[in-house]
Amino acid sequence: MAGGESIFKAMGKALWAEILTRDYEKGALSFLILAPKGQGKSTLLATIALKGIELGDLVLWRGRHRDFWPRLPRGLVKIFVHEHDELSVFKIRPGTQNAVDITKQLDIEKYKTIKELYRQLESGRINVVYEPSYHQPSEELKEIAETNAEWLPGRFFWYDFLDFLAKRVDARFLSFCIDELDDIFPAGASGMLWKALEHAQHSLAELRERLVWLYGTTHDPAHIDSRILKKLDGFIYLRGALVPKISMMPDKNAPARLELGEGIIEIRGRGYGGFEFDKLPHDGHLYNIRKSWQGPKVHVTKRSIKEQILELAEKEGPERALIKLREALANRQISKSYYYLLKSLIEEI
């Protein structure tokens, strides 16, 4: 047992070292960090982003309305918002209504296009990028998604962005951190989104050669489109993580025995092992992030059931969203398996 434990730790140390090694011959890898809410996914993602700065990577962080980046040192964070969006950030003392607008204390810059945004990214900083509330798709994306729509929901921005990264001419390593990867690559997609995801898997396959390290997080691997899941090079499991069926790790219950600050790294074809990471300092405050569209009035195509349900849960509460979800199942708009997937997402809000 002791021998097995030492091998497990040694392998984990070696695999963690591989994540922190930059080799132009080997290129880059992509990982999915798995764990239930509150088990350290965002902390580990931020740790990886900070390590990326130390390694000299160009570090990119996908911004969200509930996010971890406000906990990081202000000087390390650069925020990018689309020219037609306005971002406001409030700092709140727990247990009070004392919200302080800290927006002017932040380094925020506007961008117009993906190419312009890429030129604006800064080395030595965590570049937090907020997708536009509405995205004008490229002609390539229109062709892929088989649409003539001039505007699409903001998440489609990332498909054009990934395509840009897959074709970039740049010899710098880039670390791309995406909290809640299932927001962009959801399971159960249909229509234009399904077609966009079909193309996204090819973009992901190109990232290794383009020196792009991709790190995503999710609560459940079943929430990620299966085509995307198969393109990832490895998984990082934290306490209580669900291990995907495609994993080669024989003991699928191993994450249940982990403690906070412990994890298991698995890289396909290389094995798996344990590692530890430290909790990042916290200033004890909560943060509220708001993004509002200030641009022209736009008409977007009908949103997915998932987008409608989750927005309803945010605005009117989980109970109202669950009623709507049951109606969608009764009307055969969704399958029973997709019903339970969305139900689990609502319960996490």
What pLDDT was estimated at residue 1?
A: 40
Domain that holds residue 318: 303-349
Hey, what are 149's tokens?
């729509």
Same domain, 124 and 188: yes
Same domain, 193 and 340: no
Same domain, 273 and 319: no
Q: How confident is the model at residue 338 (pLDDT cuts 50, 70, 90)?
A: confident
What's 258's domain CATH number? 3.40.50.300
Q: Has residue 303 got a pLDDT over 80?
A: no
Helix (H/G/I), strand (E/B), else coil: 321: helix
Same domain, 96 and 113: yes
Among 71-85, 135-149, 283-297, 300-314, which is the least confidently predicted range? 300-314
What average pLDDT does this structure show over 303-320?
A: 84
Beta strands, E only, the chain: 30-34, 58-62, 77-82, 85-92, 99-101, 108-111, 126-129, 134-135, 152-153, 174-178, 212-218, 234-237, 262-267, 271-276, 286-293
Give the pLDDT confidence of 163-181 residue by residue, as tens digits.
999 999 999 999 999 999 9
Same domain, 11 and 119: yes
When divided into structural domains, the chain yields a total of 2
Residues 232 and 31: beta-carbon distance below 8 Å: yes
Give the pLDDT confidence of 66-83 residue by residue, as tens digits.
899 999 999 999 999 999
Same domain, 79 and 105: yes
Q: Regarding predicted confidence, which is higher, 132 or 347?
A: 132
Rounded distance, CA 200 to CA 83, Å?
25
Same domain, 111 and 201: yes
Rounded distance, CA 284 to CA 98, Å?
14
Same domain, 70 and 137: yes
Give the pLDDT confidence of 95-150 residue by residue, as tens digits.
998 899 999 999 999 999 999 999 999 999 999 999 999 999 999 999 998 888 89
Question: What pTM does this model have?
Answer: 0.87
